[in-house]
């Protein structure tokens, strides 16, 4: 069975600062993937970043990076230089089951 | 990439009735997923639908309540049967394409009165 846990229901960050959103997981699958999605108030799901369980390096996509610590079973999302438009719900998800965590609501303050 | 459309975009239904939600993809995909999302909450996986085989349902979801069809590689339907107010939610169709990309439809907002 797979399980995803996000322990931060809400986070605040000052504009231009970096923020880390936590995600831990549990799985018995030797091969899996970890994803982060952004869901703004409009409701659309926006893919941000992916990390494969066998990837040696942490994934990066522009201002997004994934801090993957396999031994600790964590896959935290780091957003650098936060922007007001980053205010949204953020979900961590996992394959092959494609299940989602409970989400973290991020608010960027001007 | 994959572009997904869902019909209807929203509906208001009376309890005891059924609603069928359609999901159309602009390319052939192997795996399709149906999720439910209550307002302000996470996505809960209802079932995974692969073409040519029976859908696989997650714990708490049964075929009699949420029958799914997957007649080809670009189309699927989810029926919400014998609805109650607890079924009010956003229903999302999703597909995987390529190595890992997962794409989502715009959702169907269902209100049961």
Q: How confident is the model at residue B99 (pLDDT cuts 50, 70, 90)?
A: low
CB-based contact A76:A101 (threshold 8 Å): no
Say how far apart CA B96 and CA B109 lie, in whole Å: 22
Task: Show the low-confidence residues of chain A (pLDDT under 70).
Answer: none
pLDDT > 80? residue B42: yes
CB-based contact A98:A47 (threshold 8 Å): no
Highest mean pLDDT among B51-55, B61-65, B70-74: B61-65
* B101, A52, A79, A63 alpha-carbon torsion, rounded to 10°: -70
The mean per-residue pLDDT over the stretch B56-82 comes to: 95
Say how far apart CA A52 and CA B101 lie, in whole Å: 12
Residue among A35, A99, A102 whose CB faces B45 most closely: A99
Closest-CA distance of chain A to residue B103, Å = 8
Q: How many residues does chain B have?
A: 113
Q: How far is CA A58 from the centre of its chain?
A: 13
Q: What is the pLDDT of residue B111?
A: 97
Q: Considering only CB atoms, which chain A residues are within 8 Å of B36? A: none
Closest-CA distance of chain A to residue B64, Å = 22
Interface test with B, best of A9, A46, A98 (most B CBs within 10 A): A98
User: Each residue of B24-39: pLDDT tens digit?
Assistant: 999 998 889 999 999 8
Structure token digits, residue B98 = 């390529």
Q: What is the pLDDT of residue A96?
A: 87
For A3, A26, B35, B66, the CA distances from A93, given in Å and listed in that order, are 9, 11, 13, 23
Q: What is the pLDDT of residue B53?
A: 78
Query: Which chain A residue's Cα is nearest to B41?
Result: A102
User: Each residue of A82-94: pLDDT tens digit?
Assistant: 999 999 999 999 9
């Amino acid at each position: 069975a797979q399980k995803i846990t996000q322990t931060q229901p809400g986070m605040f960050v000052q504009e231009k600062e970096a923020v880390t959103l936590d995600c831990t997981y549990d799985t018995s699958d030797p091969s899996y993937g970890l994803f982060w999605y952004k869901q703004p108030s409009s409701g659309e799901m926006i893919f941000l970043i992916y990390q494969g369980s066998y990837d040696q390096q942490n994934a990066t996509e522009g201002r997004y990076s994934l801090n993957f610590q396999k031994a600790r079973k964590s896959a935290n999302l780091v957003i650098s230089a936060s922007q007001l438009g980053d205010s949204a719900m953020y979900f961590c998800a996992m394959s092959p089951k494609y299940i989602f965590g409970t989400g973290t609501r991020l608010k960027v303050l001007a | 990439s994959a572009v997904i459309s869902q019909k209807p975009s929203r509906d208001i239904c009376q309890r005891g009735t059924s609603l069928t939600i359609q999901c159309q993809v602009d390319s052939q995909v192997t795996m399709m997923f149906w999720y439910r999302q209550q307002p302000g909450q996470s996505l809960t996986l209802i079932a995974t639908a692969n073409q040519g085989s029976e859908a696989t349902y997650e714990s708490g979801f049964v075929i009699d309540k949420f029958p799914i069809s997957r007649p080809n590689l670009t189309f699927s339907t989810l029926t919400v049967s014998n609805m109650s107010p607890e079924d009010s939610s956003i229903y999302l169709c999703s597909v995987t394409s390529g190595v890992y990309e997962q794409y989502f439809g715009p959702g169907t907002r269902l209100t049961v009165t």
